[in-house]
Structure 1
Amino acid sequence: MHKPLLVPEFLDRARTHYGDSEAVIATTGERFTYDELGERADRFSAALQERGIEKGDRVAVLDPNTHYHLEAAYGIMQTGAIHTPLNYRLTPDDFAYILSDADVDAIYADYEYAENIEAVRDDVPTETFITNDVDAVEGEWESFDAVLEDAGTEYDRPEMDEDEIITINYTSGTTGDPKGVCRTHRGETIHAYLTVAHQEISDDDVYLWTLPMFHANGWGHIFAVTGIGATHVCTRGIDAAEIFETVREEHVSYMCGAPTVLNMLVDYYIEHEPETTGDAPVRLATAGSAPPEATIRTVEDEFGWYLKHVYGATETGPLITTSDAGRLFEADSDDRFRIKKRQGLAFLGTEIRVVDEDGNDIPRDDETLGEVVVRGNQIMEKYWGKPDATEEAFTDRIEGYYHTGDLATIDEHGMIAIQDRKKDIIISGGENISSIELEDTLFDHPEVSDVAVIPAPSEKWGETPKAFVVPTSGDPDEPGVSEEDLVAFTRDNLAGYKTVHRIEFVAELPTTATGKVQKYELREEEWEDEDQMVGQG
């Protein structure tokens, strides 16, 4: 029997089975049941249709992790319109590009970010502008709550096909204009099923939104947490003290966080020693880059949380692998940290390969380097309006696989370990050096709170590793350790040719909204006086 896989059915299921159960704990202090969340989504659907939105139209959402984002997302998708979430860290010019590229018809924008849309309003095709606080926004905007109140709950849900596009998530655009990653009902649904299975999500989970909802639909948790009937705890940003407090008071059992977020929590814990759990054990999923073993150790042994390391890209769902492979390590052994820092094994129904330049599988020796390519039902359909980029992404080394651009080794179990992005590998004197390996080594030094390693120009070697270090002291002028000491530390712990030769202490590293370090900003600054980057790193 074939039944179409359609994303509005996640909220449908929650309303059917958990209508009077708590669905959302809002940043405003309000609490909504699934019946109430569903009614508000219905009203937004009706309001959009009253304003001429039809199936296939693009509707943008620019919002931190509030209840409005969830209501808008489901309200959009229930009409068959395409949910287009936006990164709230972008500039007005970025928004102008995306709104025009996707030909967005309507937008809901949080009051804190609406001014960046207002700045380009006359330059975009968008005609409907809605915000959650009209008094805080310049220009002609409609009030979200007033729109819901006036709309009623009746709307027409069109017939939908599982192969139709239902979300467009734009990439960060670090190597050119952002690209719209198109995902179908089917792809989103299967990814959510996989997330429920591998992240062990259940209806009694309380999920804390530390991961931006805009980022690949919050790794699919907009769908997974809703469909399973669990509770969403909304946030307006990342604050270590508030995270620990919310975990305790709301009995949070599950959350996500990039390694930079984990570092923030670890630093706060070391200084303040807060209670780290409420009445529920805590699971935490991390992705973006491999967390250092020292961070994993603190999270598990000191916080008492269980860490799951997952991996993927916006184009891949995003989640395609997990290091949560309990049969490969003893639960209480230190060996688990070595396993958990790996990107891991393929998700169910997902085919991961690591291939050489000719598209041949590399040996499973955990030494040979190749590019990670992937096939699976959760992989994107295409890039919006970019057929050439789509074709290249699926045909570069091998036909029919999405090419991640990540370089990895693979072991005898098929467990991958990312060594670098293709553009981040450092080629010094002909030797390939992994910036990730260097970062992991420096993380082990007690005076290093955060670090990013990039290739820097070298007259002798072409390029050489340089580390930007956030000291544990937080003060780059009083780092508590010398450059010479850190150079010697890498020399003592790594092969000689991998030694970091340059150190720069900084107060913070440039990051995306998801906490991923923006190395390209550091590279551009470091190489601005050079004709080109050796190896294009």
Structure 2
Amino acid sequence: MFVPFSVNDFIRRAEAVYGDRIGVVDEPDQPAAGLGSLTYREVAALARRQAAKLDELGIGVGDRVAVVSQNSARLLVSFFGISGSGRVLVPVNFRLSADEVAYIVEHSGARVLIVDPELDDALAGVHAEFRFVIGKDEDLYAAEDAEPGHWQPDEAATATINYTSGTTARPKGVQLTHRNIWTNAMTFALHAGVTDRDVYLHTLPMFHANGWGMPFAAAGVGVPQIVLRKVDGAEILRRIEQHGVTLLCAAPAVVASVLEAARKWDGEVPGADRARIVVAGAPPPTKMVTRVEPELGWEFIQIYGLTETSPLLTINRSRAEWDGLAAEERAANLVRAGSPALGVQLRVDEEGEVLARSNVVLEGYWGQPEETAKALDGDWFHTGDGGRIGDDGYLTISDRKKDVIITGGENVSSIEVEDCLFSHPAVAEVAVIGVPSEKWGETIKALVVPAPGVEVSEVELIAWCKQRLAGYKAPTSIEFRAHLARTTTGKLQKFKLRRQYWTGQERQVN
């Protein structure tokens, strides 16, 4: 018997088995009226009403629906109301500029655009055939008794298109299928030990690789999901205390903010001896890993992956063989990317690039067949990361082959930032690189050769970028140089430019 996988499998089981259990607790400080606490039965019903509304609008199977929102219960519902009805959800990074959002809406061909009310004014110039504002336009959902038309599940169909910065100036749309999402959610839940006794906190933006698949995994086993709109270390601790949170996912910068807040916390840190934190987005520094257990009392788990891999490729969780090791020795083991997740094959090619094969690997890049062919050359996915695999099968990421900077868990194309700086009349040459940052893992530095006879300041160039790009893409520092060394063919060798800033570092990523 063959029964196709569907994202609906997760909400269907949640409704059938855990229908009366609280499924989501919305952020209480949503800029428009939040949804409060919803049972899984209510989540499923709202998803059906959203699907029925798309029917009324004439949005067909395979049509794209873009959502630009910070974490909210309505965004969580959309994973099932949109993707679960055969449409394609396009979750957009809410930190992007209006021009960047407009590009994604146009490139994806989204017929519907749903916008967070806090972003309504900033995105006033971004249009689609139908446009809704969360919380203001409640006709986003059909009437309570409306039922959507039937969709015959197709596990090979695209469920979401997630735009990610790569080596090109414009982001690429990563097509993830129902099979990709289903496999990722199940393997993530298995390796992280997710059960119906957990409570999950959405510290991770839901747009980011579909919240790493946790909205699906948590629903499938009836886990209450607590929505956090804006990341703040002290607020994370308060939510953990208030709701009995046992599981959260975060980039290293978020872990750093929690560690700082814990120093000022009065009494035992919430979640001590019961919470576990799954960390990814950038390799965490060893000293951060050594602090989580003694200072927070939480279990530290690291994963590695990309949006293109749904994202889980490896998992690194303390194992029985490490129980007798000193904290520093355990941290040295945990700082590695990890061992392949179930169903994942890894290898490192002759150039040191990490390659992967798995059912979590993307279908392709939306509308970019040449980029797809390059990424899947030889029937292996090319991660763009350099690394090595030890005798025990554990992967360590050592460098980044792609021209991408990961700062605070966000991917930034250095080419995109360079293009922006080049547009300033005072810039003759520029190279953008990632340099170590204790807070963000990496931060953006621009090496600039000014145009002859023109004066320009660091402050002016940073402001220029902030006016044209999302704020996190702007350089945090600019160094002026007389020239930039190039090869005989005129190419910049960025590994050489980075070298002086990474002296003494074992890895060329942080």
1:392 paired residue among 351, 371, 374: 374
Unaligned runs of 5+ in 1: 135-142, 358-369, 427-434, 444-448, 460-505
- Work out whether 1:404 is the aligned partner of 2:383: yes
1:346 paired residue among 337, 340, 348: 340
Tell me: CA distance 1:49–1:324, structure 2 relative to 1, closer, same or farther (3 Å).
same
SS of residue in 1 equivalent to 2:183:
helix
Q: Which residue is equivalent to 1:535?
A: 493
Higher RCO (CA 8 Å, separation ≥ 6 residues): 2
SS of residue in 1 equivalent to 2:257:
helix
- Work out whether 1:44 is the aligned partner of 2:37: no
Q: Could you tell me whether the CA contact under 8 Å between 1:423 and 1:536 is conserved in 2?
A: no
How many residue pairs end up in the alignment?
Answer: 440
**What is the distance in 1 between the residues matched to 2:330 and 2:272?**
25
Tell me: CA distance 1:34–1:177, structure 2 relative to 1, closer, same or farther (3 Å).
same
Q: 1:202: Cα distance to partner?
A: 0.8
**What is the distance in 1 between the residues matched to 2:144 and 2:104?**
28
- Work out whether 1:246 is the aligned partner of 2:228: no
Q: Which residue is equivalent to 2:6?
A: 6
2:182 paired residue among 159, 169, 189: 189
Deviations 1:40-62 (A, max 9, x none): 11111111110111100001111
Letter of the 2:125 counterpart = A
Tell me: CA distance 1:526–1:166, structure 2 relative to 1, closer, same or farther (3 Å).
farther
Q: 1:22: Cα distance to partner?
A: 0.9
Q: Which residue is equivalent to 2:79?
A: 73
- Work out whether 1:116 is the aligned partner of 2:130: no
**What is the distance in 2 between the residues matched to 1:302 and 1:213?**
27
Tell me: CA distance 1:15–1:525, structure 2 relative to 1, closer, same or farther (3 Å).
farther
Q: 1:329: Cα distance to partner?
A: 2.0
Q: Which residue is equivalent to 1:24?
A: 24
Letter of the 1:536 counterpart = K
- Work out whether 1:86 is the aligned partner of 2:92: yes
Equivalent residues in 2 for 1:448-487, closer than 5 Å:
452=442
Q: 1:302: Cα distance to partner?
A: 1.2
- Work out whether 1:383 is the aligned partner of 2:365: yes
Q: Which residue is equivalent to 1:421?
A: 400
1:130 paired residue among 124, 129, 132: 132
Deviations 1:121-168 (A, max 9, x none): 2xxxx211112243xxxxxxxx13x44363633111211211111111
Deviations 1:415-461 (A, max 9, x none): 111112125799xxxxxxxx99x94xx85xxxxx55637888799xx
Q: Which residue is equivalent to 1:61?
A: 67
Q: Could you tell me whether the CA contact under 8 Å between 1:456 and 1:527 is conserved in 2?
A: no
SS of residue in 2 equivalent to 1:161:
coil
TM-score, scaled relative to structure 2: 0.80
Equivalent residues in 2 for 1:482-493, closer than 5 Å:
none
Q: Which residue is equivalent to 1:255?
A: 248
Tell me: CA distance 1:383–1:423, structure 2 relative to 1, closer, same or farther (3 Å).
closer
Q: Percent identity?
A: 35
After alignment, is 201-210 or 520-529 more displaced? Answer: 520-529
Deviations 1:74-98 (A, max 9, x none): 1112321001100001111111111
Q: 1:372: Cα distance to partner?
A: 0.6
Q: 1:523: Cα distance to partner?
A: 8.7
Unaligned runs of 5+ in 2: 29-33, 406-432, 450-461, 496-510
Equivalent residues in 2 for 1:502-521, closer than 5 Å:
521=475
**What is the distance in 2 between the residues matched to 1:27 and 1:454?**
31
SS of residue in 2 equivalent to 1:230:
coil
SS of residue in 1 equivalent to 2:385:
strand
Deviations 1:383-413 (A, max 9, x none): 0000000011112xxx111111111122111
Q: Could you tell me whether the CA contact under 8 Å between 1:46 and 1:154 is conserved in 2?
A: yes
Tell me: CA distance 1:162–1:529, structure 2 relative to 1, closer, same or farther (3 Å).
same
Q: Could you tell me whether the CA contact under 8 Å between 2:443 and 2:475 is conserved in 1?
A: no
TM-score, scaled relative to structure 1: 0.76
**What is the distance in 2 between the residues matched to 1:112 and 1:291?**
32
Q: Could you tell me whether the CA contact under 8 Å between 1:206 and 1:254 is conserved in 2?
A: yes
Q: Which residue is equivalent to 2:455?
A: none
Backbone CA RMSD of aligned residues: 3.0
Q: Could you tell me whether the CA contact under 8 Å between 1:72 and 1:108 is conserved in 2?
A: no
Q: Could you tell me whether the CA contact under 8 Å between 1:169 and 1:182 is conserved in 2?
A: yes
SS of residue in 1 equivalent to 2:313:
strand
Q: 1:119: Cα distance to partner?
A: 1.6
